[in-house]
Structures are given as structure tokens and as C-alpha cells.
Amino acid sequence: GNPIQVPVGVGTLGRIMNVIGEPIDEGGPIASEGLRAIHQEAPTYTEQSTEAEILVTGIKVVDLLAPYAKGGKIGLFGGAGVGKTVLIQELINNVAKAHGGNSVFAGVGERTREGNDLYHEFIESKVNADPHNPDPAVKSKCALVFGQMNEPPGARMRVALSGLTVAEHFRDQGQDVLFFIDNIFRFTQAGSEVSALLGRIPSAVGYQPTLATDMGALQERITTTHKGSITSVQAIYVPADDLTDPAPATSFAHLDATTVLNRAISEKGIYPAVDPLDSTSRMLSPLIVGQEHYETARMVQQVLQKYKSL
């Protein structure tokens, strides 16, 4: 047979599919522009684009201290229950609505309830059209691909690739796409389960020996080409709040901006619980954001650093 192929194109917008491209929203078959295999080569060095542009999120702490790159990779790091999914929903609300282009949301090994909430939230906020009560003025803007906690590890390991394949199709048509992944840690976790089932010898902390390869194969495909861009926002669960754990540590290398959510800040009731000193961005350079923004951000960090050390 063939490798897994999923439907791509405008027909996927507003629909929910699983890892093998079957609709799971009881909305009938997906009217696709064709099928595309989920295993693809990453764009070559010459196909990639290197323009630096800021993506404005409307979240002040992020835009000032660790701004996001348009067409870049963004990681939201945080332990259990500090608000990663809520922040992703906030970003979808601010960025996906203002951005006007298409988005793809890949739910990888997270709670089914959250996926259900998100689906209905999209319909309420007019990001997607309501299939049962169609409004001609509302055009769906987001495709959803889910492989949640109750799926077998093989499905959870591949569902990020299925979502990425849908996003790549839009990019290759010349669009700027937003690609949300919640949660990239579950991709690694599923990989480690599959690795154990295959009888491979585990490496550090019991993860699969191919951890870096698996992560690289996914992340290298999320990139901006001369045709269009994929801006990805990835929630990254941090086991036991330890950023040096191999799973979050491997993903650090691939990111342009990191937003670290801190439990101590969330316990004070400050949301989003962004740690302004731990969060970093490649874009915070006077050549990109301008001298005034750069100096303001550095002064803010200085004040916060003094406060922290007192």
C-alpha cells in the first residue's frame, strides 16, 4: 500500500480529521483538493526564505520582551496547568483573526475535552463556520487535526505530521499559514512508547535513542519558503518543571522564540504567566525591532532582574 495520505486544500477548513485523514466531526466526507502523503522531505536550503519580520500578538509582555518572528517557530514552555493551552487559544484569537489567512491546529495527545471546547469556540468566535447553522458571511479559516490521549501511540506519533501536511499544502499555494501544535511533548512521548514496543534500547531518562532525529524530521519541515510561510506556535509540556529534561531540551534548538510560563507567576494569579527573564527571542535585536524598542526591553529586563535578586 501507500504511506498515510491525508486530504488537503480548502475543503479541510472548519473540519476535524484524525491521523489518517478521516473526518471525525460527523460532517460527512471532506471535499479535498487531493491527497498528500504525510512523510515529505524538508525544503532544501535554496528553497528557504530568510526574511525577518515581527508577528504582533497583542500580548504586551511577549511583543516587548520576546517578540515572535513571522514564519518562525515559537515554543510555549510550561509545566502542568500553568496555561499553555489557554495562551495558544489567546494567540489563535488575536493572531488568526487579525491575520486573515488560514490556520491549522494539530491536537497531539492532549485532552479530548480541550479539542471539543476549541472546536466550539472557533464556531462561536466566527473563525470557523457552523456546519449545522451555516452563515454565508462566515468562511472557515482553521483546519483541525486531532490524535488525542486515548489514541494508540502510533497515531499520536504521526498526527503532528498529518497536521503539518495540511499546512504545507496551503504554504505551497503561496499563503502565510499559522500552524498550532498542542502538545509537541506528546509527540516525543508517543515516539518513546513506540520505541519501547519495537524493543530499542532507551537513552537518557528512558527516551527513545532517535529522539533528536524524530524531532528534526518534524521541525525541519516547518519552515518558510519563497512560495509562502508557516509560522508555528508549539506548546511544550515541561515534565516536573525541569527545562533540562531531554524532551524540552531537544526542541530548544529548533525555535526562534521561547515563551516560558512560570508556576510561581501563575500562582500569583498573573495570566498569561510569562516569565519575562526566561523568555528569549532571536528577533530582539536593534536591527529588527529598532533601537528604541530594544533599549526599552533591555531596561525592563534590568529592573525585573534587580527585583528578582533583592
Instruction: Judge whether 84 counts as a catalytic residue.
Output: yes
Q: Are 163 and 145 in contact (CB under 8 A)?
A: yes
What distance in Å separates the CA atoms of residue 112 and residue 214, rounded to the nearest whole number? Answer: 24
| Cell numbers placing 207 | 527516551
Active-site entry in 111, 126, 263, 282: 111
Which of 84, 141, 156, 158 is the catalytic position?
84
**What does residue 289 show for φ and ψ, rounded to 5 degrees?**
-90, -10
506519533: which residue's cell?
157
Is 267 a catalytic site residue? no
What the block records as the C-alpha cell of 281 is 527571542
For residue 111, indicate whether it is catalytic: yes
Please identify which residue in the block is written with the cell numbers 495520505.
5
Among residues 7, 25, 27, 8, the alpha carbon closest in space to that of 16 is found at 25
Rounded Cα–Cα distance for residues 310 and 302 (Å): 12
The C-alpha atoms of residue 81 and residue 4 are separated, in whole angstroms, by 34
Which residue among 110, 114, 151, 168 is the active-site one? 110
Question: Which residues form the catalytic set?
Answer: 84, 110-111
